[in-house]
Structure 1
Amino acid sequence: MLVNHLFSAVRRRSWFNRLSADNVVLGLIIANAAVFMLWRIEDRKFMVENFMISLDNFRSGRIHTLVTSAFSHIDIGHIAFNMIGLYFFGTNIARTFGPEFLLKLYLAGAIGGSVFYLLHHGYMDLSSKGQGMWVMDSSRTPGLGASGAVNAIMLLDIFLNPRATLYFDFIIPVPAILLGIFLIGKDVLRVMEGNSNISGAAHLGGAAVAAIAWARIKRGRF
């Protein structure tokens, strides 16, 4: 049994080694695009229950939404912005550390973003108790998008290359570390203000994953 497991692990690693950085990035983009199209042909209730993260879904045992929600977009602008970030930063990470590392980082960022999202909404749910019937039940407020996963990839690249020049809003050149500080600060502010349109908590979950990955790389343990 152990021998079979080892051979399976070797075959899987060999398969990953044959993939290029571009292959993995393209595969992730295609997966996101496929779910984007699925929103247009599948039953909406099915999609909400299986491709969105919420306390309600989590309590109902739909644990897979921790990951599937990070491949899920409804709005064209949302998926376009995330996929542009994934392409530019993901390609760089995959070429530096390998395609398997990128895939693991994406999935870790997805889970980290979902966990932070749930913690934030759990806190809001507890805080809203006793405030009357007109307060929206945050347990039924679903979220979706690859932002947590992409944030993990983007911020890891920034942590590793703090002096690189990046373009804020694709126009203004700024040092990478300043852009990273701005993005994290903006997400902290979103959490404090309770912004419901963009989940700062999910972004911060991705940032936490990036920080852990950066620390492990610095110790030579990636």
Structure 2
Amino acid sequence: MMSIRTLASRVTVTRGSAFRPLKHANVPLKTSTYVLAAPKFMPPAPLRSRGFTNIARRLDSVNPDHVIFGLIGANALVLFMWQTVDTSSKRQFMVTNFTTSPAHIMSGRVHTLLTAAFSHADTGHFFGNMLGLFFFGREVCAILGPKRFLGLYLGSAVAASLAQVVSQPLYSSRNSLSLGASGAVNAVTAFSICMFPHSTILLMFVLPLPAYVVGSLFILRDIWGAVGDRNTGVGHVAHLAGAGIGMFYYRRMFGRRSGFRRF
């Protein structure tokens, strides 16, 4: 899935007032003099993994830059695996586990919805996506915190892959394989643009434009590609799904206010 290739760099960012957490209303508790009999059936308490909870709590203490470089490193590792394939069996392993398609899902390889989002078979595709993750991801991770950021990134990666797989039979290239971090990177980029719509982006490192203009141009390009079925080899549906999730996540987190919402 070729990315929104965010071959763009942030040069100035206009930030508004700092966001503030929501304040909980002080609602007095009311007690009752009635004593209710215990029900005959008590549902079991939900199972909670202390290990997972501890990991989730510790995530937000991680340096946001380390999260971004960790994701870039994971993508670089898979790229290295592609570049060093020297036998048909190794290539088959990569195709089986680091690309996705309707056939993959039908055969039970559901994990490829995530692993394909860390997979780039050529360096141009890799650098395009990783530049976008570096320029926009560091900012978004600092705002959301590592735990929420990884939820957005990994969730949008799976959702974008699924959207591409579901839509694949509608296109002439229905038997093609999909891979790439475009959906996840587009979600992060869309969130950043919603957060700072009037910041300046150098389109192709040359033309300075407001962020919302650049984002709109890329979305229009993907709509044009998705509707036209031009067999460009680009996963336009995955791009649109990722961007949509990024905008939705921003809406749920901030809405029209500057404070966090529960999500």
* TM-score (normalised: structure 2): 0.75
In 1, the alpha carbon distance for the partners of 2:166 and 2:46 equals: 40
The equivalent of 2:116 in structure 1 is 69
Q: CA deviation at 1:6?
A: 5.5
Aligned residue in 2 for 1:203: 239
The answer as to whether partners of 1:51 and 1:69 remain within 8 angstroms in 2 is yes
The correspondence of residues 59-208 of structure 1 with structure 2, limited to 5 A, is 59-124=106-171, 138=174, 140-194=175-229, 195-208=231-244
Report what 2:262 is aligned to: 221
Letter of the 1:101 counterpart: R
Shift of 1:5: 2.5
Query: Greater RCO between the two (CA within 8 Å, min separation 6)?
Result: 2
1:133 maps to what in 2?
A: none
CA contact (8 A) 1:105 1:152 kept: yes
2:233 and 2:50 map into 1 onto residues whose CA distance is: 46
Displacement, 1:71?
0.1
CA distance in 1, matches of 2:176, 2:220: 24
The question of whether the paired residues in 2 share the 8 Å contact of 1:116 and 1:204 is answered with no
Moved more, 87-96 or 207-216: 207-216
Per-residue CA deviation, residues 41-66 of structure 1 (Å, 9 max, x unaligned), is 35111111111111111111110111
List alignment gaps of at least 5 residues for structure 2: 1-43, 256-260
List runs of 5+ in structure 1 lacking aligned partners: 129-135
Higher mean C-alpha displacement, 24-33 vs 203-212: 203-212
Query: Aligned AA for 1:28?
Result: L
Does the Cα contact within 8 Å between 1:115 and 1:205 map onto a contact in 2? no
3-state DSSP of counterpart to 1:5: coil
Q: CA deviation at 1:198?
A: 1.1
Deviation at 1:105, TM superposition (A): 1.2
Note the aligned Cα RMSD (angstroms). Answer: 1.9
TM-score (norm 1): 0.88
Q: Distance in 1 between matches of 2:223 and 2:46?
A: 48
Q: Which amino acid aligns with 1:221?
A: R
Q: How many Å apart are 1:119 and its aligned residue? A: 2.2
Q: Give the percent of matched residue pairs that are identical in Structure 1 and Structure 2.
A: 36
> Which consecutive aligned stretches of 4+ in structure 1 deviate over 2 angstroms post-superposition?
1-10
Structure 2 residue 75 is the aligned partner of structure 1 residue 32: yes
Q: Which has the higher helix share?
A: 1
Q: 1:196 to 1:60 in 2, by over 3 A?
A: farther
How many Å separate the matches in 2 of 1:143 and 1:123? Answer: 15
- Structure 1 distance, partners of 2:262, 2:111, is 28
